[in-house]
Every structure is written in structure tokens, then in C-alpha cells.
């Protein structure tokens, strides 16, 4: 490959281009790259980006696609950092994964650091033979090091589409689950499985023993990390009540990262892919209020003018980090590739990769 520094195009030159120029140049770059590049797009991406995606989907679908499409030397991942890491872990070793903007992180993923999880495991280890009693289960919205932790400790990853199957897998093996970093996905899944409330505790990583007494931890069967998605916490029970009163025939559909007070009042709950499929396949004339990220809901509205589709909150609930990936960054990363320069490669260190893959493959075997 030619020298990176010499040839790297500057992102600032792209930020002054018009939407049409960016569109045309992205199409041309894709054409020039042909079978060299696969563009994956998460359901939350902006329209100006998703229009160029070869394949789109939720976290689970994109993880599977990254594992299956092993003929493409380059995967440009239009999503957030943890998704690109997952693609790097599951793809062939000589495939290169690119995240068009490295600032596209996930605030929930940042709520659990490996040092905090190590500390939690050590404290649990003071109370019980932790590797025999507790299965660690990590939501894919997490750093690769946490997935590796789970792989190494007999644990597993999950997504919003398979959390129930994952919890069943965990409880079939050990008495307790440590579920992180999303308290709400864990709680909503356990609620749907009929788990008694007094067997669930919350672990606050900033307090000794997560803020619990040893007794409470010993009795618990599910230990939920105190983490959340700030986008999905914006949906409130009052929003559900408003739509039910105003549109009595409405169906409420939400993502499982929402608070249980919202999920318990919804008609349906599921991943972004589940939400899209359910609303898309519903008969014309049906009426929906959707509790997940705004880009996805606006796209659903535009694609289904025969249905009444509302956003469940009066506030703008947009994933600011997903939003970092725009037409300019996509075009910039592709045109760099055309001239042989890789920008923003996501490369998980070998040690983490090996164990994270173990945890991800346990999950993939379930779905």
C-alpha cells in the first residue's frame, strides 16, 4: 500500500460539498471499489447514509452479516464503535473494518469499563465461588474487552433480539447472571420471563458491593449493572398514556432499552429489526406509536404513508453518536479507499479478539 500520510484526503474538504455532490461521489467511489467493499448500515443511521448501505439491520443481523460476508476485503461499518469492533472480531483476519467517524461511540457502552467489571467480579468472588455460581452476560453495546471478559469466564454476549435465549442459556449453566451494561434490557427480559422482583438486584459500579449487602447479593439470581441508554430513557409512561387517550386504536411498540414502566404499558417490545418488520407488515390504515431512535421512526413514516406512525416522545430522541456518521464521512472513507488509503480502521487487539469471539460465537449458536 502507498504511504498513508501522503495520500490521506482531508475530511474538511468534504464538509463543504453539497448533498448531491456527496451522493454522486459516493456512488462513483462504490462503483470504483466494486466487490472490494461491503457497506453495512445500522437501522438508526441517517437516510443520506443508509441509502448507500448494501445491507442494513439491527445489531444481531449486522454481526451475522459481518461473519458471513468473508469475500469482501473491506467492510465500511455505518453504525457505532462497538458494532464495528464486533465486525472486526467476527470477520476474517485479513478483512479490514472501517468506521467512517471514530467519534461514533455509545454512551451506554461507556458506562461499564473493564476495570469496573473486574472489580465487581472480585467483590462477588469474596462472597461466593464466582466462576461456578455466576455467568457473565454482556449486551453487545459494550467494548470488546468486556466481551472478552465474558468469553474467558464462561459467559456470553447478547443483543436486544436474543436476550431471553441468552438468559435461559446462562441459568441452565449457573445459578446467577451478572448482566451488563444495560439495566433495562436485563430487567425487561427478566420481567417477561416471570422472574420475581426480589431475585433481581442492581449493581452500582461506584459503590462497594454495587451498593448491596452481601445477603441481598447471595439471594439474587440476576445482578443488573446500573447502565442505560440516554436516548431510550426519554420515553415516559405519560407519552404512552397520551397516545392511548388521543388514538384509542393505537398500537405502542418500543425497544427493550426503554424503562420497564414504558415497556410494561406497550403492546409490543423488540429490537430495531423487530420494530421495522412489525410496522412494515401491519395492514394499511393501522396506527402506531414507536419508542426508539428518531431516524428509524422518520424513515418508517416516509416508507409507509398508508399507516399513521408517530414518534412516542414529544422530545427529539436522537442517538447523537450514530448521527456522527454522515454523508461526508462516508464519502471521505470510500474515496480514500479508492486511492489505496485506509482511514479509521477498527482493529481489536488479538487477546481480546480471541475471547470476545468465544462469547459472540456462543451467542450466535443460539440464534
Nearer to ligand SF4, 124 or 317 (CB): 317
Residue 81, C-alpha cell as written in the block:
464503535
Residue 106 engages ligand SF4 in binding (rule: CB under 6 A)? yes
- For 4, half-sphere exposure in the C-beta direction (CA atoms, 13 angstrom radius) is 5
Residue 235 and residue 264: Cα distance in Å, rounded?
Answer: 12
For residue 122, which of 171, 167, 178 has the smallest C-alpha distance? 178
Here the cell at position 245 is 387517550
Which residues in 261-300 contact ligand 13P (CB under 6 A)?
271-272
Please choose which of ligand SF4, ligand 13P, none residue 189 contacts, taking the beta carbon within 5 to 8 angstroms, the exact cut-off set by kind.
none
Q: What mask, x for binding ligand 13P by CB under 6 A, covers residues 143 to 172?
A: ----------------xx------------
Nearer to ligand 13P, 59 or 236 (CB): 59
Residue 354 touching ligand SF4 (CB under 6 A): no
Tally the residues of the chain: 367
Among 39, 58, 178, 263, binds ligand 13P (CB under 6 A): 58
Q: Can residue 183 be called a binding residue for ligand 13P (CB under 6 A)?
A: no
322 binds ligand SF4 (CB under 6 A): yes
Q: Does 97 bind ligand SF4 (CB under 6 A)?
A: no
Size of the site for ligand SF4 (CB under 6 A): 12
Buried (b) or exposed (e) across 12-35, using 16+ Cβ within 10 A?
eebeebeeeebbebbeebbeebee
Q: Which is nearer to ligand 13P, 62 or 224 (CB)?
A: 62
Q: How far is CA 176 from the centre of its chain?
A: 24
Q: Of ligand SF4, ligand 13P, none, which one does residue 212 interact with (CB within 5 to 8 Å by kind)?
A: none
**229 is a contact residue toward ligand 13P (CB under 6 A):** yes
Binders of ligand SF4 among residues 70 to 89 (CB under 6 A) are 80
Q: Does 319 bind ligand SF4 (CB under 6 A)?
A: yes
Find the binder of ligand 13P among 86, 91, 95, 141 (CB under 6 A): 141
Which partner from the list ligand 13P, ligand SF4, none does 58 bind, CB cut-off 5 to 8 Å by kind? ligand 13P
Site string for ligand SF4, 128-157 (x = CB under 6 A): -------------x----------------
Decide: is 335 part of the binding site for ligand 13P (CB under 6 A): no
Instruction: Say if residues 150 and 137 touch (Cβ distance below 8 Å).
Output: yes
Q: How far is the CB of 181 from ligand 13P (least distance, A)?
A: 12
Q: Which three cell numbers stand for residue 272?
A: 430495531
The residues that touch ligand SF4, with contacts defined as CB under 6 A, are: 80, 106-108, 141, 229, 231, 257, 293, 319, 321-322
The residues that touch ligand 13P, with contacts defined as CB under 6 A, are: 43, 58-59, 141, 159-160, 229, 257, 271-272
Amino acid at each position: 500500500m502507498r504511504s498513508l500520510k501522503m495520500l490521506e484526503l482531508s475530511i474538511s474538504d468534504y464538509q463543504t460539498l453539497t448533498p448531491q455532490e456527496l451522493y454522486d461521489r459516493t456512488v462513483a467511489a462504490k462503483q470504483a471499489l466494486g466487490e472490494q467493499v461491503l457497506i453495512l448500515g445500522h437501522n438508526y443511521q441517517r437516510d443520506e447514509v443508509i441509502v448507500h448501505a448494501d445491507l442494513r439491520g439491527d445489531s444481531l443481523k449486522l454481526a451475522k452479516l459481518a461473519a458471513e460476508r468473508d469475500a469482501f476485503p473491506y467492510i465500511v461499518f455505518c453504525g457505532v464503535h462497538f458494532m464495528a469492533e464486533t465486525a472486526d472480531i467476527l470477520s476474517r483476519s485479513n478483512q479490514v473494518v472501517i468506521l467512517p467517524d471514530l467519534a461514533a461511540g455509545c454512551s451506554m457502552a461507556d458506562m461499564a469499563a473493564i476495570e469496573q467489571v473486574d472489580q465487581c467480579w472480585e467483590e462477588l468472588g469474596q462472597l461466593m465461588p464466582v466462576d461456578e455460581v455466576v455467568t457473565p452476560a454482556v449486551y453487545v453495546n459494550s467494548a470488546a474487552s468486556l466481551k472478552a471478559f465474558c468469553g474467558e469466564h464462561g459467559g456470553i454476549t447478547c443483543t436486544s433480539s436474543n436476550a431471553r435465549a441468552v438468559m435461559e442459556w446462562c441459568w441452565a449453566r449457573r445459578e446467577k447472571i451478572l448482566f451488563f451494561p444495560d439495566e433495562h434490557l436485563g430487567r425487561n427480559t427478566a420481567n417477561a420471563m416471570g422472574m420475581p422482583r426480589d431475585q433481581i438486584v442492581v449493581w452500582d459500579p461506584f459503590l462497594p458491593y454495587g451498593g448491596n449487602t452481601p445477603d441481598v447479593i447471595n439471594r439474587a439470581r440476576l445482578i443488573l449493572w446500573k447502565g442505560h441508554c440516554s436516548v431510550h430513557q426519554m420515553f415516559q409512561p405519560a407519552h404512552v398514556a397520551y397516545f392511548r387517550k388521543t388514538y384509542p386504536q393505537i398500537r405502542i411498540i418500543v425497544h427493550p432499552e426503554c424503562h420497564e414502566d414504558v415497556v410494561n404499558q406497550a403492546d409490543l417490545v423488540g429490537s430495531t429489526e423487530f420494530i421495522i418488520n412489525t410496522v412494515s407488515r401491519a395492514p394499511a390504515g393501522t396506527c402506531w406509536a414507536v419508542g426508539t431512535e428518531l431516524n428509524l421512526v422518520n424513515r418508517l413514516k416516509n416508507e409507509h404513508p398508508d399507516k399513521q406512525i408517530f414518534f412516542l416522545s414529544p422530545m427529539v430522541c436522537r442517538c447523537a453518536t450514530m448521527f456522527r456518521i454522515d454523508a461526508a464521512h462516508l464519502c471521505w472513507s470510500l474515496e480514500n479507499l479508492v486511492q489505496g488509503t485506509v482511514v479509521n480502521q477498527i482493529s481489536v487487539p488479538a487477546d481480546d479478539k480471541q475471547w470476545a469471539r468465544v462469547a459472540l460465537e456462543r451467542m450466535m449458536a443460539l440464534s
